[in-house]
Amino acid sequence: MSLSVYVKVVGFRDFERHALNTLFDLSLQGAVSYCLWTPEAPVAPHLALVDIESYEAGLELVSPSFDANLKMICVGADAPPDAWRTFQRPLHWPDVVQSMDELFAAQEVADPNLDFFDTEIPAFLPPGIKSALVIFPLREDRMYLRARMALAGVVVVGEAQSAAQALEQARRSHYTLVLLGQDLPDMDSWELIRQLIAMEPAIGSVVLATRDKAWHVRDRADHAGCRSVIDYPFNPSEIVQLLQKV
């Protein structure tokens, strides 16, 4: 049974919050699971993660209700001298999580999923990408892509595990990037691509992930209207390049 650690998060930008939520979700599979603390939580927070440069931090640190004995990990300049660890932007999230593990786990890195972040992703919103939809049957694939996109600043990311779910979401919300795999349970991926490409308003970019490296797959994807084709299983560097160019 994993140890549940409640983290009080103070401040942070939207895309950083999204990245944290994704990391917390991934930690549920490890020896230490991190949970976002709220006043409704069953216990007091075990740790505070504070964006020291935020307005919220200025209020929190002088509040009479703030626990001065609570361990703090701070981000930004002029952190309090009693902070457990201090980090500067741009953030490398595995370092932040490893410092949390030092407090709560007797190992260097408790979460095996941290190798998802072994390649740096720039912390800015890529031009043209406002929202994304990832369509893969496996939850692990969807979480991987959500994490990658969150670190790149894409904070609106939808998920679908079937073609039916994907089409329903695409009709309800406009996505500027759709990334899908070839092993969907209810529809051939080429037919799904055809329907996605035909939607109005048009989706900005449709990208196919495939195990097949044959040239005819990429040729067919190009003729079907795909913006790009990437390898599956995912290559971290290729994901970075994709987010930079679409």
Distance CA(149)–CA(154), nearest Å, equals 5
**Inter-residue contact 175 to 158 (CB < 8 Å):** yes
What's the pLDDT tens digit per position in 206-239? 999 999 999 999 999 999 999 999 999 888 778 8
* Sequence-ordered list of residues with C-beta below 8 angstroms from that of 37, at least 6 positions apart, any chain: 6, 7, 8, 9, 45, 46
Per-residue confidence (pLDDT) for residue 196, from 0 to 100: 96
Distance CA(12)–CA(56), nearest Å, equals 9
The highest-confidence range among 11-20, 113-122, 190-199, by mean pLDDT, is: 190-199
**Inter-residue contact 218 to 190 (CB < 8 Å):** no
Minimal CA–CA distance to 134: which of 37, 22, 13, 8?
Answer: 22
What's the pLDDT tens digit per position in 173-201? 889 999 999 999 999 999 999 999 999 98
pTM metric for this prediction: 0.60
pLDDT-derived band at 127, boundaries 50, 70, 90: low
Minimal CA–CA distance to 115: which of 236, 220, 21?
Answer: 236
- Helices assigned H by DSSP within the chain: 14-27, 55-62, 93-104, 139-151, 163-172, 189-197, 215-224, 236-245
Could you tell me which residue, 178 or 28, shows the higher pLDDT?
Answer: 178
Per-residue confidence (pLDDT) for residue 72, from 0 to 100: 93
Distance CA(126)–CA(56), nearest Å, equals 27
Mean pLDDT of the chain: 83
Per-residue confidence (pLDDT) for residue 105, from 0 to 100: 66
